[in-house]
Amino acid sequence: MIKAAMFDTKPYDRESFEKVKGRDVDITYFDTKLDPKTVELARGFDTVIVFVNDELSKEVIDKLNEYGVKLIALRCAGFNNVDVRAAYKKIHVVRVPAYSPEAVAEHAMAMLLTSVRRIHKAYNRTREFNFSINGLVGFNLHDKTVGIVGMGKIGKAFAKICLGFGMHVIAYDKYPSEVPGVEFLSQDEVLRQSDIVSLHCPLTEDNHHMLNKDSIGHMKKGVVIINTSRGGLIDAEDLLEGIKSRRIGAACLDVYEEESDLFFDDRSGHILQDDILARLLSMPNVILTSHQAFLTREALEAIADTTLSNIQGFFAGEDVLPNEVCYKCEKVAECKGAGRKKCF
């Protein structure tokens, strides 16, 4: 029996994993996040199942290794919270590279439509029997230019939706591939030409704060920014200044750089200590959701299924771990061994 400890567990996680869990994996669920203070809870387990805001620093990884943990199973696609260099030759790391691209892409479009058609404001008005439509003027998406940064499965799903709205789609990707109806340009050109910019790329050292004072200054006045990827792609302070100067017309955010101590928990009875986030939330043209773009029944079931398959494959001694995160190569996408054999 494989003993697994799941951290940062929410009711929907437990429900989806219990639905697909096999008899060979015994999961103990912990509400708390994994970090240096809670890593002791992992003692005696074969694997840990973690999420985006769990902390897999060198200190935590060394402790997990000391406790005999053999596998870190991410139940998400991103792995910027894992010190992969510290894990090399100690603990294998697997992830869920694609669970439901459509779920995230649809959420991005839902936020965009809500913002540009003022649906959230209209909803609040009509619930108070205010049926005035003054101040609710939006704009058509048809014929607008949307720039997509990152054309993986989610980016492609979002592009398909945008093409259905009759939008002009331009994109940047480090490894571009031919996509019908999409024109690939440099990142600078995508940011410069777009009426709407949507980020669908992983967070790396190279693209940290890719949207900053300089890049925002070269974007169209009134541009709408969507981020359903990772908060660290945007310098939040520069985003705030861009909104105040009216260079940015609206921001639709499902992620925030300093979200780890805030998102996924009820903070309604607390005073928000993050001044930048508080100011962003005070802006009438900012829509923020708390990292829920993935949250559909289909995506949750796919996450649970792939995570458990990753665990079962590893402990069955399979030579190939198709969803393993590479440690030997700094550029994961360039690793010639990834997906064909274990990293070590």
Q: Give the pLDDT mean for 212-221.
A: 97
| pLDDT value, residue 194 | 98
Least confident range of 74-83, 164-173, 239-248: 74-83
Instruction: Count the Cβ atoms, other than its own, within 10 Å of residue 155.
Output: 27
| pLDDT value, residue 319 | 83
Query: Which is the catalytic residue, given 75, 168, 291, 324?
Result: 291
Using 50, 70 and 90 to split pLDDT, how confident is the model at 340?
low
Using 50, 70 and 90 to split pLDDT, how confident is the model at 22?
confident
142 carries an active-site annotation: no
Instruction: Count the Cβ atoms, other than its own, within 10 Å of residue 276.
Output: 15
Q: pTM for this one?
A: 0.89
| pLDDT value, residue 8 | 96
Query: Which helix or strand (DSSP H or E) is residue 299 part of?
Result: helix 297-315
Q: Which residue has the higher pLDDT, 309 or 330?
A: 309
What is the DSSP code string of 60-117?
Answer: HHHHHHHTT--EEEESSS--TTB-HHHHTTT-EEE--S-S-HHHHHHHHHHHHHHHHT
Closest C-alpha to 99, from 314, 322, 313, 300: 300
282-298: pLDDT as tens digits: 999 999 999 999 999 99
Query: Which is the catalytic residue, given 55, 168, 200, 259?
Result: 259
Q: How many helices (H) and strands (E) does the chain have?
A: 11, 12
Q: Which residue has the higher pLDDT, 320 or 311?
A: 311
209 carries an active-site annotation: no
Query: Where do the domains of the chain lie, and which CATH numbers do they carry?
Result: 2-99+297-334 (3.40.50.720), 101-288 (3.40.50.720)
Least confident range of 18-27, 90-99, 122-131: 18-27
Query: Which is the catalytic residue, given 95, 230, 257, 324?
Result: 230
183 carries an active-site annotation: no
| pLDDT value, residue 329 | 58
**Whether residue 333 has pLDDT greater than 70:** no
CB 263 within 8 A of CB 289: no
| pLDDT value, residue 138 | 96
**Whether residue 326 has pLDDT greater than 90:** no
Q: State the pairing for strand pair 71-74/92-94.
A: parallel
Contact partners, residue 62, CB within 8 Å, separation at least 6? 86, 90
**Whether residue 144 has pLDDT greater than 70:** yes
218-264: pLDDT as tens digits: 999 999 999 999 999 999 999 999 999 999 999 999 999 999 889 98
Instruction: Count the Cβ atoms, other than its own, within 10 Å of residue 244.
Output: 11
**Whether residue 343 has pLDDT greater than 80:** no
55-76: pLDDT as tens digits: 999 999 999 999 999 999 999 9
Average pLDDT of the residues of the chain: 93
